[in-house]
Amino acid sequence: MTQNARLYNIPEDHIAEMTAKFAKLNKRAVKLGVEQFSFEVVGEHKEFQIETECFDGPAVRTWTQVPADAKPEAYSRATGRVRLVKHVRLLGAQQIKLAGYVFVAVLDHDLGEENTVIRPAPDAGDLPVKFRTSGAVCEHCNHDRRRKQTYVVRHEETGAYTQVGSTCIADFLGQSVDAVIAAIEMGSLFGRLMGDGEEWDCGGRGPSAYDLTDFLAHTAMIMRTQGWLSRTEARKSQSGRAATADIAWLVLTER
């Protein structure tokens, strides 16, 4: 079993729930005949909750590694809550290769060209920026048609990237890719689960049910106007700016 170099910051009170979800996903992995995943804790740190006043809406509560009273800001105050965050590494993620190509990412196009959802394949490296806005093209058949999903692969020897439609990928590689696609899907699900454990924080409340498409549309709108800021970077920053996910959640829930 190989390990992914990326470390995720998972609040301690999310670990038990994440463990249960890993067990559920691994049952699916067994049925699909792909490698199971696990995780290991390799470190930890403390975080302090602060409440930041927004110029155009309600205050937003976020977490930072810097105590609010260490450098007081006019628009931020400490709430007194402290949490322990674990440094977690995903185990089982490894490059997926077939016919001389490395699978880099699955691109979902359901939300339109400007809102492509990127699901990186395990341990495949960064996706070139151009594929974020390339649309649902297929560089194999070059036919202009509506596609829900495309794949980006990288040639092992030349390093060249190619975007291929889901109906063309088997023809492009010259062999069945069913097992590979299943492995990518599972790797993406486990990676998303780790990311959800890292990013989800609703002030201790249980998650409510909201439409994913609606949330992604709000996120895309905010990214176009303000750029992207992760919670990890927001926690490290002392600028008082809220993370993109927090703003999108606030807009969605305060409507």
pLDDT of 41 over the 70 cut: yes
| pLDDT tens-digit series, residues 188-240 | 667 666 766 665 543 333 344 445 566 676 677 667 766 777 766 776 665 55
Please report the sign of the dihedral spanned by the C-alpha atoms of residue 55, residue 59, residue 65, residue 69: positive
Q: How far apart are the two ends of the chain, measured CA to CA in Å?
A: 45
Backbone angles phi, psi at 144, to 5 degrees: -85, 100
Lowest mean per-residue pLDDT among 27-41, 78-92, 132-146, 238-252: 238-252
Encoded tokens for 223:
């990214």
Tell me the pLDDT tens digit for each residue of 95-149: 777 888 988 888 888 776 667 788 777 777 788 888 888 888 999 999 988 888 8
Helix (H), strand (E) counts: the chain: 6, 9
Output the pLDDT for position 127: 86
What is the C-alpha separation between 200 and 32, in angstroms, rounded? 28
What is the mean predicted confidence (pLDDT) over 9-29? 85
Q: How far apart are CA 92 and CA 117, in angstroms?
A: 23
